[in-house]
Structure 1
Amino acid sequence: MAVPAASPPSGRRPPLDPIDGGGLDAPAALDLLRRGELTVTGRLTDASNATLYCEIAAGDVAGRCVYKPVRGERALWDFPDGTLADREFAAYEVSAALQLGIVPPTVLRDGPFGPGMVQLWIDVDVTVDLVALTRADDPQLRAIALFDAVINNADRKGGHLLPAPSGRVHGIDHGVTFHAEGKLRTLLWTWRGRRLSAEETALLAGLRRQLAGELGERLEPLLTVTEITALAARVDRLLDEGRFPLPSGDWPPIPWPPF
Structure 2
Amino acid sequence: MSAPERIPPRSMTPAELLAEGELTVRGQIRDASNAALYCTVTYEDREAACVYKPVAGERPLWDFPDGTLAAREVAAYLVSEATGWDLVPPTVLRDGPYGEGMVQLWIEAVPGAELLALVEDEEPAQGWKAIGLADVGEGRTALLVHADDERLRRLAVLDAVINNADRKGGHLLPAGDGRLYGIDHGVTFNVDDKLRTLLWGWAGEALTEEAVTVLGGLKERLREGGALAECLAGLITPAELDATRARVDALLTSGVHPEPGGEWPAIPWPPV
Normalising to structure 2: TM-score of the pair? 0.83
Aligned counterparts of 1:73 and 1:27: Cα–Cα separation in 2 = 30
Match of 2:162 among 144, 147, 151: 151
Match of 1:66 among 17, 33, 51: 51
Q: Which amino acid aligns with 2:162?
A: I
Q: Over residues 25-45 of structure 1, what are the superposed CA-to-partner deviations in whole Å (9 max), with x where a residue is unaligned?
A: x95211210111111011111
1:81-230 matches, cutoff 5 A: 83-132=68-117, 135-212=146-223, 213-230=226-243
Aligned counterparts of 1:127 and 1:184: Cα–Cα separation in 2 = 27
Shift of 1:62: 0.5
Q: Which amino acid aligns with 2:13?
A: A
Shift of 1:214: 1.5
Q: Which amino acid aligns with 2:20?
A: R
* TM-aligned CA distance change 1:236 to 1:51, over 3 Å: same
Aligned to 1:251: 264
Asked whether the 8 Å contact 2:67–2:235 carries over to 1, the reply is no
Q: Which amino acid aligns with 2:116?
A: V
Q: Which runs of 5+ in 1 are unaligned?
A: 1-25
Q: CA RMSD in A?
A: 1.4
Shift of 1:98: 0.4
Aligned counterparts of 1:60 and 1:37: Cα–Cα separation in 2 = 12
Q: Which amino acid aligns with 1:42?
A: G
Aligned to 2:61: 76
Shift of 1:258: 0.4
Q: Which runs of 5+ in 2 are unaligned?
A: 1-10, 118-127, 129-144
1:33-44 matches, cutoff 5 A: 33-44=18-29
Shift of 1:127: 2.1
Shift of 1:159: 0.3
Shift of 1:168: 1.3
* TM-aligned CA distance change 1:66 to 1:208, over 3 Å: same
Match of 2:250 among 234, 237, 249: 237
* TM-aligned CA distance change 1:174 to 1:76, over 3 Å: same
Shift of 1:166: 1.4
Residue 56 (structure 1) aligned with residue 41 (structure 2): yes
Aligned counterparts of 1:82 and 1:126: Cα–Cα separation in 2 = 35
The 4+ residue runs of structure 1 with deviation greater than 6 A are none
Shift of 1:82: 5.1
Asked whether the 8 Å contact 1:109–1:115 carries over to 2, the reply is yes
Larger radius of gyration: 2
Aligned counterparts of 1:104 and 1:27: Cα–Cα separation in 2 = 15
Deviates more, 1:135-144 or 1:28-37: 28-37
Between Structure 1 and Structure 2, the one with more helix by share is 1
Asked whether the 8 Å contact 2:66–2:237 carries over to 1, the reply is no
Aligned counterparts of 1:56 and 1:27: Cα–Cα separation in 2 = 13
Shift of 1:129: 3.8
